[in-house]
Structures are given as structure tokens and as C-alpha cells.
Structure 1
Amino acid sequence: MTEKLPLIIAAAVTWRLYLWSRAPHDAPTRSVALSLLSAGLSYPVAMPGGAAGIDTVAGHGMAKLVQNVLLLGTVYFLMCFYLYSADGQAARRRARREAVVVVVVAVAITLAAVSMPFEALAGSFRTADMTISQVAFFYAGAGLYLMYALGSAGRWSARYARMSRQPHATGLWLTAVGLGMMAVACAVRAVFVAVRWSGGPVPHQLMSSAAIALVVSSLLFVAGVTYSGARARITATRLWLRRRRDHRRLTPLWRLLIELYPENELRPASRGLWDRWRARGVHRRYHRRIVECRDGLVDISPYLVCAEDDASVLDLDPTQLARRLRAAASMIKNDVPAPGQAVALVVPHEDDRNADVRQLIAVSEALRLTA
């Protein structure tokens, strides 16, 4: 899974950049794309190979600086997404002011990084020497801005969650909780920096707990931003599977009617193999089969009824109707004149498309069993 993670991140970034190219003037789309791009670029920088390469070229600790600047960009553009979603000139002016803030923070931590010994930032947050003022300022400055930006984004997520309906509200609440927890974790780490800068110790258990909180909050955030889309995809997949199954179950009835009335078969929009699996193709073939079955039932209905039993035929159960359909098919093949007039068959009691399909499937299943 670790080997596939860069590919997943690259795919997500590429997709968002593609959406941005489709709507280049849409500010929220642009903000999400840039946020993901910044996050995606920070990942290889944080990896040992990427960090070693940057440190070799630019000096020890520069990889840590680049990674933190990219993280600042990630949360800034995330905050911009909420600002631009609010729309209006006020939101745009606020985004410009926030841009000034993030640039000031980035410049400040950059100055701190270049003014400290090269090897001071080579380690991790846990092993860094916080008694060096520039190191403490570097981590505190970046952490406090992350706390501010994540907290603001979490607050806006909660506000939108209260105004939204399910399932979007659930996803937004998960996002808000995840962002809030990340902001709290950043605040706790800032306190750790202050304690260690003053020479005090921070227990290993507290450091580990803060790291775990960051991981959990990140997972909640990811779950929140993907919840609505994942749920919609699951619902769409279930509908796709059900319609593929119903399409197959209608085959006995459809085959009998199309054999008798081939002119009722509608021309498919596409005959490609891929169209058989695409959601649009499955739904199109499903609805086409229902229409073809209905048209065929109207055409064959004069052979199922006559003047004395045209009312009773409407009350036939699926098994009895299946037998009459086979008998009617034999009459048509033998060129027997129709004894009655066309009537509506297999009419559901409920005014519902699903009930209509269930009725047709019941007759089709009866045909299959009486074959």
C-alpha cells in the first residue's frame, strides 16, 4: 500500500487539476486543486529520498523548510476554498488578506531556517533542539499558522454542516471534527515547543499522543471529504447492479415478445463492449428493455383477451398470464386472427416505476419456469 500511495496522490492531484482546467475561472475549484497540489508536492519532500536530495543540493534542513512551506500553502488554499464558496467581494478581499498573512509566516520561518546551523532542522520534531531560538520559532510559527488556518476551516465546515442535509451534513461534520482535532494537535505541539525552548522536558507519552491525534484527525478529515462522494458512488453501484440483474431477469419475457414483434426492438445508442459495463449504458439498456416489453405486451394483448373475459385477464397471476402468453405466441405464429382488442396488461396497483418493473419481472420469471 505504501508503494501505491504516491500513485494515489498523483491521481488525485491530476484529477483536480483536470477539473480546474475545465473551469479555470471557478475559484473554489482552483483552491481545491492548489491545496491538493501543495499537499501532493509535500509528500515526496517528506520522504527520506526526497529530503536527502534537497538537503544535498540546498543544505541540511532545507527539505524541512520546503515541506512546511508547502503545508502552509495546503491549509491556506483549503481556507480559500471555504472563503470563495461564500462568494461575494468580501470573501475575495479576505482571501487576499489571508495571502499576506501566509506569505509573512513563510518568509519568517524561512529567515529562521537560514539563520540557524544547517544541521539543526535535519531531524524530526521530536529530536529537534528547541533550545535554539530559531528552531523553536520555526516550529512554533508554522504550527500556530496551521492551528489558525485549520481551526478556521473547521469552523466553516461546522457552519455549512448545520445548513446542509444528509449525506453532505455527515461528511461536513466529520471534516469539521477532523480539522478541529488537527488544530488542537497543532496548538498542543506549540505548547511543547514553548516548554522545550524554556528547557523543560516533555514526556514521551505526551509527544506520542499528540502524534496519534494528528494521524486520527487526518483520517477523520479524509473520511469527511470523501464521505458524500463515496456514499453516492455506493448508491450508484447498487443501482447499477440491481438494474443489470433486472435486465437479465426480463430476458424471457423480452425474448418472447421481440421474436414476435422484432420491429419493437429499439436501436441501441452504442454497440461497444465497454457500453455494456458503463453506468450510462446499463441504465439505457434497462429502460430500453422495459419499453420494448411494454410495447410487446400491448401488441400481443388482443390474443389474450376476448369480449367475455377482457376484465378477468387483468387479474391473472403471473403464472396464468405466462401460460396465456405462450398460447398467444403459438396463435400468432400460426397466423390466427386476434380475437380481441388491445388492453393494458401487467398494470401495477401502485403508480411507481419500480412496481411496474416488479410486475414485468414476475411474468418473466413465470415464463422462465414454465418453459
Structure 2
Amino acid sequence: MVLFAAALSWRIYQVQRAPTVPNWAVTACVAGFAAAFLLQQEVISDEIDAVIGLGAARVANNALLACAVCALVIFFLGSTLGPVRRYGRVAVELIPLGAAIALMVVAMDLTPPELRGLPLGPSTIHDSGVALFYLGAGLYLIYGLIACTAWILRYQRVADRNLRIGLRMGAVGLASAAIGSIFRAAYIVVAWAFGPVVKVLLLLGVPFVILGGMLFLLGVTYPGVRARVSALRRRRQHRREHQALAPLWTVLVQAFPSIVLRTPPRRRTERLSPRSIHRIHYRRVIEIRDGLVQLSPYLDADFGQVVATDPRAAAGALKTALARHAAGEESDGQAKQVLPAPADDIESDVRPLLALSAAMES
């Protein structure tokens, strides 16, 4: 239940950020599995049977499992097909789901009252209603799990590394659950059609289903967990870099107070947000670059290369230029290249600035 709660909480968070059809489908899938797991607990199932009738909890449990698998199929359809084809295929997928749920309801109604709601076993398997109920539910699960496994194997070819690992874990989990469902279906067919009860088939199915469910949940949560871990590392890195750039930023702000960017007032929740460190980090980098550009007329033309090759020498040249600027000396009036080379992104500018700031501090 802890795994279900963690996975469902994460999926709800994702839906709030991006309420797309695939996100809703995966959330519905996890919610269906979690609700089905709760209905398997005797305390809850007994209460439902007492209110609605014997066998109601068993029908609801298997119907929720079928809906969860159908939602997972819809997720892959929504992720790979266009909008027109997607909605058509979703409508088609609802047909076998509705047929399976209807079959479960009819089979439970045909089951003698004393057998309704009882688990599958040697004492119940020879009843036609019980056998039909579990076989109908099992066949739909087998279909859905195999279909989802096939979709995952196709989809993981174009996924990024973290998502690919999660998809593979999910595929192994779904395949394992499908194998467990096949063992249970074989147990039902052999006992119902031919008479002998092969208990080993039912016993083999249980660990496959349990292992498959856990692997599937781990696969669903793995990309999100990895993304959160990467985000935490990135925040820690930006916090360290923000502090490390303070010596360089301080001397430039003292020389050029106008480089400090004005920002609109923010709400308290935004200021306390963990992501705010990225904003103040990039702001500091931009202000430092602006200060260096304003100081560049007092620097030599090769200052950018000196920063890359000898940060201590660059720090000395920077201090000399700051002293000349403070004394009001004349400059050549021409802006210079203050960083080693034009960077593709702001992150590439940070490394030479960190080295220059460390040299300024020492």
C-alpha cells in the first residue's frame, strides 16, 4: 500500500502540472490498482458485501483491475497515436472492457449465494458461475497485460535513458503479471472442463502477479524519482555556485551598481520555493556578465583567453581594471570579449566565472 500511495501521489502531482490524456490514463491506472488492492482486504470487502450484497466486492475488485489495465492501454494509445486515431481506438478498447465487466456481473448472478465472493480454490472451481467469473476476468487481464507489454517494448526504443529503464521494469512487471494470469486461467480451464484440480498452477500464479505488480509500480515511479533526484542535485549545485560567485559579484556591483536587475515583487510562497535558487543563480550570472562587459574597456583584448588559461592572472588584471575605473582614468571605449568563447548556454559561462571568482577571493 505504501508503493501504491507513493505512485498515486506522484501521478496526481503530474496531472496537476500537465492534465493530458496520457497523464490522466496512467493516474487512473494506478488509482484502479490501488482501489482493487484495498478491496482485497477482508475488512473492506466484508463491509461492501454487507451493504450491496454477497459478491459485490469481488466484482468491484476485478472490474477495477480490468479498468486499470484498460487505462494503461489508453495511455500508450494516447502517447503514440494522433488525436483522431486515438479517440477511435479508445472507443474500440472500451468494448472488450465493457464485455468483460458484464460477463463478471452475469457470472456472479449465476453463482449460488453460498459461493458468491469466495476466492478461487478447489472448493469453488467446479461451479460454472465461479469458473466463468474468474475466467472472464482473467482473460481480459491477459489480453490487456500482453498488449501493454507489447506497447512498452515498442515505445522504449524512442524513450530517453531514465524513461527507458522505467519502461523496461514496467514491461517485466506486466509480463510477469500476465504469466500469473495465464497460470490461473489454465487452472480454471483444466479443473472446470476436465475435472482434476492442479493446485500448482494456482500457486505458481500468485508470486508472478505479486512480483509483477511491484515491478510495475517501481517502473512507473522510477523516471519521476530519478527526475526528482536530478533536480535536487541541480539545486544543490546552483546553491553552491551562487555562493562561490559572491566574491566576483560583490566587487562588480560595487563598481557598477546599475547591473543589479530589478525584479517584480513575488509572493512569499514563490520566494520560499525550492526552484527559486535557479532564478537567483541565473540572475547573479547575468549581472556578473553585465559588469564584466561594462568594465571591458579597461581590460586587455585577450582577457577572455586569460580567464580560461590563468584565472589568477585574470583576477589580477580585473583588480587593476577596477582600480583604474574607480580612479576615473580614461579607457579605449571599446568592449572586449570577457569570456573564453561564445557559449551555447548560460551554464557554459559559469565555469570560467567560478574560476575567476575563486581567484578573486584568494
What is aligned with 1:200?
196
Select the residue among 301, 306, 319 that pairs with 1:315: 306
CA shift for structure 1 position 249: 0.8
What is aligned with 1:243?
238
CA shift for structure 1 position 83: 3.2
CA contact (8 A) 1:299 1:342 kept: no
The AA in structure 2 aligned to 1:315 is V
What is aligned with 2:29?
35
Once residues 161 and 75 of structure 1 are traced to their aligned partners in structure 2, the CA distance between those partners, rounded to angstroms, is 19
CA shift for structure 1 position 190: 0.7
Select the residue among 45, 48, 58 that pairs with 2:42: 48
> Helix, strand or coil: the match of 1:231?
helix
- Which deviations, in whole Å up to 9, do the C-alpha atoms of 1:191-217 show, x marking residues without a partner? 12233434434345x544422211222
What is aligned with 2:329?
337
Once residues 328 and 83 of structure 1 are traced to their aligned partners in structure 2, the CA distance between those partners, rounded to angstroms, is 62
Once residues 93 and 346 of structure 1 are traced to their aligned partners in structure 2, the CA distance between those partners, rounded to angstroms, is 58
Once residues 184 and 156 of structure 1 are traced to their aligned partners in structure 2, the CA distance between those partners, rounded to angstroms, is 17
Residues 114-263 of structure 1: pairs in structure 2 closer than 5 A? 114-125=109-120, 129-164=124-159, 166-197=161-192, 198-203=194-199, 207-263=202-258
CA shift for structure 1 position 251: 0.7
Once residues 220 and 61 of structure 1 are traced to their aligned partners in structure 2, the CA distance between those partners, rounded to angstroms, is 29
Unaligned runs of 5+ in 2: none
- After TM superposition, which residue ranges in structure 1, 4 or more long, deviate above 6 angstroms? none
Once residues 357 and 365 of structure 1 are traced to their aligned partners in structure 2, the CA distance between those partners, rounded to angstroms, is 12
Once residues 180 and 80 of structure 1 are traced to their aligned partners in structure 2, the CA distance between those partners, rounded to angstroms, is 18
What is aligned with 1:11?
9
Once residues 187 and 67 of structure 2 are traced to their aligned partners in structure 1, the CA distance between those partners, rounded to angstroms, is 24
Once residues 246 and 303 of structure 2 are traced to their aligned partners in structure 1, the CA distance between those partners, rounded to angstroms, is 26
Once residues 245 and 283 of structure 2 are traced to their aligned partners in structure 1, the CA distance between those partners, rounded to angstroms, is 11
* 1:362 partnered with 2:355: yes
CA shift for structure 1 position 39: 3.0
The AA in structure 1 aligned to 2:306 is D
Distance of aligned partners of 1:15 and 1:347 in 2 relative to their CA distance in 1, 3 Å threshold: closer
Aligned-pair identity (%): 30
My pick for the range that moved more, 123-132 or 283-292, is 123-132
The AA in structure 2 aligned to 1:43 is F
Once residues 87 and 332 of structure 2 are traced to their aligned partners in structure 1, the CA distance between those partners, rounded to angstroms, is 72
Once residues 270 and 223 of structure 1 are traced to their aligned partners in structure 2, the CA distance between those partners, rounded to angstroms, is 41
Distance of aligned partners of 1:366 and 1:38 in 2 relative to their CA distance in 1, 3 Å threshold: same
* Number of equivalenced pairs: 357
> Helix, strand or coil: the match of 2:261?
coil
What is aligned with 1:70?
64
CA shift for structure 1 position 228: 3.6
CA contact (8 A) 2:107 2:132 kept: yes
Select the residue among 74, 82, 86 that pairs with 1:80: 74
Once residues 89 and 348 of structure 2 are traced to their aligned partners in structure 1, the CA distance between those partners, rounded to angstroms, is 53
TM-score w.r.t. the length of structure 1 is 0.81
The AA in structure 2 aligned to 1:118 is P
CA shift for structure 1 position 7: 4.8
Unaligned runs of 5+ in 1: none
My pick for the range that moved more, 49-58 or 11-20, is 11-20
Distance of aligned partners of 1:212 and 1:344 in 2 relative to their CA distance in 1, 3 Å threshold: farther
My pick for the range that moved more, 129-138 or 359-368, is 129-138
The AA in structure 1 aligned to 2:354 is I
> Helix, strand or coil: the match of 2:198?
coil
- Which deviations, in whole Å up to 9, do the C-alpha atoms of 1:174-203 show, x marking residues without a partner? 333332222222111111223343443434
CA shift for structure 1 position 98: 3.2
CA shift for structure 1 position 141: 1.3
The AA in structure 1 aligned to 2:153 is A
Distance of aligned partners of 1:83 and 1:341 in 2 relative to their CA distance in 1, 3 Å threshold: closer
TM-score w.r.t. the length of structure 2 is 0.83
My pick for the range that moved more, 176-185 or 36-45, is 36-45
CA contact (8 A) 1:147 1:186 kept: yes
My pick for the range that moved more, 38-47 or 257-266, is 38-47
CA shift for structure 1 position 121: 4.3
Distance of aligned partners of 1:259 and 1:6 in 2 relative to their CA distance in 1, 3 Å threshold: same
